Chains A and B, each alone.
Chain A
């Protein structure tokens, strides 16, 4: 089988100094800037008044009891459960017990809710603005250059993506233009940021989007959720627990453990 002769393109080595390195350095520095911007813009958690705090903590108390009931002995568990269920069902821990049964207020009108949304918007902005800027910067200055060759072959389908702005029909799709180096940087620089900024950095937008999909603890007490309904549901959850303790049969297990 005849080998297809390898294409060689003679490029000015100055391309590396004036295109490749600037793009890479700018990408790394933007990542670091984004990290520190996120750190600086992070708003402190808002102070709650005593009643609201009591409402949240009481709910958490119920949840913790439900998750850790096995470390309690039976009488102490039943005592706690009975106390919590009575309190939950009578609404003793509610922030304003008069508003039971009324529909929750519109979340848009609550100033606290607006603040949370503003925080989310700020994070989104910190991601979108640098990306748009860098994309247009690369498009304006560096479009139309072929700078590198990928070390692995690709099908012809990738040509339009990798060689955007280079209108040469017969060129091997392995040659890539500056914009595709930018995309490689977006995906591959996470390890560099891990190394530079520690593993909990906010430099990479991909990782951030992953985090946003994950569950958020703050959502539980979010606006528009009726606390009375949460309390009732929690009381029901507590009521159905079938109690058993880790100390059940512990003598048996101990004797098995020290058997010769």
Chain B
């Protein structure tokens, strides 16, 4: 955590951080619904379904990191897997998708499971 003086020397623009988080949130909720569609079509049940969701939302986070964050973040001298250049907390970046998308995932999973299997 940078000290108060460092923050004042190189300030963080609140609007940009909010825009980043919102973009990430949109991506997460949209992909969660699509994962639900695919899990329902595959006919996954109980644990395998939730595992599918866990793996794929983490994969989304990794892909976002590799494709969007890493090129400028590594060039800016940050250590690998560090997202502080664009996001407030690493927790929000890596695991926020699990919470944001869960309701949408369950909805589409149930819907397509019902349509395809039952």
Contacts and interface: CB of A to CB of B under 8 A. Distances in A.
Given A151-B46, A184-B106, A199-B25, A192 B114 contact: no
Nearest to B115: A16
B113 A191 contact: no
Contact of B107 (A16, A152, A187, A199): A187
Nearest to B25: A199
Interface in B27-51: 29-30, 32-33, 39-40, 44-46, 49-50
Interface residues on B, range: 20 to 34
A185 B33 CA distance: 12
A195 interface: yes
B55 interface: no
A188 B40 contact: no
Contact of A188 (B26, B107, B115): B107
B49 A152 contact: yes
Interface in A137-158: 147-153
B110 A150 contact: yes
Contact of A152 (B29, B46, B114, B115): B46
B94 to A, nearest CB: 20
Nearest to B36: A188
A194 B39 CA distance: 21
B30 A195 contact: yes
A223 B32 CA distance: 44
Contacts of B26: 194, 199
Contacts of B107: 184-185, 187-189
Contacts of A150: 110, 113
Interface string A17-42: 00010001000000000000000000
Interface residues of A, number: 27
B32 A151 contact: no
A189 B101 CA distance: 10
Nearest to B33: A191
A191 B46 contact: no
A11 B44 CA distance: 21
B5 to A, nearest CB: 8
Given A148-B110, A188-B103, A199 B22 contact: yes
Given A16-B115, A191-B29, A152 B104 contact: no
B8 interface: yes
Interface centre among A147, A194, A244 (most CB of B within 10 A): A194
A98 B117 CA distance: 76
A16 B115 CA distance: 8
B75 interface: no
A190 interface: yes
A149 B46 CA distance: 12
Contacts of A194: 25-26, 29-30
B85 to A, nearest CB: 19
Interface of A: 11, 16, 20, 24, 70-71, 147-153, 184-185, 187-192, 194-195, 199, 244, 246, 253
Interface of B: 5, 8-9, 22, 25-26, 29-30, 32-33, 39-40, 44-46, 49-50, 101, 103-111, 113-115, 117-118
Given A70-B8, A149-B117, A152-B50, 4 more contacts: A151-B110, A185-B107, A188-B106, A195-B30
8 contacts: A16-B115, A147-B114, A151-B44, A184-B110, A188-B104, A192-B104, A199-B25, A244-B5
